[in-house]
């Protein structure tokens, strides 16, 4: 099974190989992959690409961490009380339905074209998978499990760390697995729209100047970054889940 991810990339490799063999280097729309590297090389030489990747990665990581904390906390609180759930559900559903692109003008108006603005727009949509997973998991907890802290006379802190957190951790991990690619996509989207520093801003500038080979090259870099994010999140979830299973 270890070769499954590599086999999964085989159709893409075949497609790129055919594109390279049949593509026209002079095509303004579909330059072959060999032209992509040449077009991206100037961005590597002047460190523009590395700085853009660093800015995107920083926003993505901070956004995912904040989304995890906020989503876990709100989801647990909402799932623990039916009255709170009924009171907040309309507002939560309204916010959940807002597309990320629609938040950009409001966030830019309030915060300006800054990293903080990017972070706000990334955090809100990325929060929902984690929030919903935690709310569902909290609702489904066994009453017997919740009575254990009272039986053992545990403090509130011990109840959270020894009972509630281990019980909800699988739901948090599932939510993070869904939220991570979403956070990366939204980060790139906001950068393309606002041209705030990041990989999306460089990609948007290349598209605006009709540098098609550079656009394809940057898309390839974006794909590699997305694959790396998915691999790390999946491996991390498997490792944590494996350590939680009884031997």
DSSP 23-39: --TT-SS---HHHHHHH
Q: What pLDDT score was predicted for residue 123?
A: 93
Q: What pLDDT score was predicted for residue 1?
A: 44
How many Å from the N-terminal Cα to the C-terminal Cα in the chain?
Answer: 23
Question: CA 20 to CA 14: how far, in whole Å?
Answer: 10
- The architecture CATH gives domain 44-244: Orthogonal Bundle (1.10)
The pLDDT tens digits of the residues spanning 128-173 come to 999 989 998 888 887 777 777 777 777 778 777 778 888 888 899 9
120 CA to centre of own chain: 13
**Domain boundaries of the chain, sorted by first residue:** 44-244
Place of tokens 């929060």: 127
For residue 185, the tally of other CB atoms under 10 A from its CB is 18
The predicted model scores a pTM of 0.86
Maximum pairwise Cα distance, the chain: 76
The pLDDT tens digits of the residues spanning 44-58 come to 999 999 999 999 999
Q: What pLDDT score was predicted for residue 98?
A: 79
């Amino acid at each position: 099974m270890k070769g499954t991810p590599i086999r999964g990339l085989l159709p893409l490799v075949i497609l790129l190989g055919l594109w390279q063999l049949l593509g026209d280097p002079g095509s303004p729309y579909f330059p072959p992959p060999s032209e992509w590297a040449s077009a991206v090389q100037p961005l590597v030489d002047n460190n523009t690409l590395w700085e853009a990747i660093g800015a995107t990665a920083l926003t993505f990581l901070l956004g995912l961490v904040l989304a995890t904390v906020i989503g876990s906390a709100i989801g647990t609180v909402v799932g623990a009380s039916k009255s709170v759930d009924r009171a907040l559900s309309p507002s939560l559903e309204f916010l959940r339905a807002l597309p990320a692109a629609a938040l950009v003008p409001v966030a830019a108006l309030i915060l300006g074209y800054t990293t903080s603005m990017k972070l706000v727009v990334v955090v809100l949509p990325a929060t929902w998978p984690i929030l919903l997973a935690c709310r569902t998991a909290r609702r489904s907890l066994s009453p017997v499990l919740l009575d254990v802290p009272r039986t053992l006379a545990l403090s509130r802190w011990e109840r959270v760390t020894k009972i509630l957190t281990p019980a909800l951790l699988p739901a948090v991990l599932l939510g993070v697995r869904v939220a991570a690619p979403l956070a990366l996509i939204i980060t790139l989207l906001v950068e393309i729209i606002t041209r705030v520093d990041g990989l999306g801003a460089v990609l948007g500038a290349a598209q605006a100047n009709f540098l098609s080979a550079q656009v394809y090259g940057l898309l390839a870099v974006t794909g590699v970054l997305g694959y790396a994010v998915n691999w790390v999140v999946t491996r991390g979830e498997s490792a944590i889940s494996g350590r939680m299973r009884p031997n």
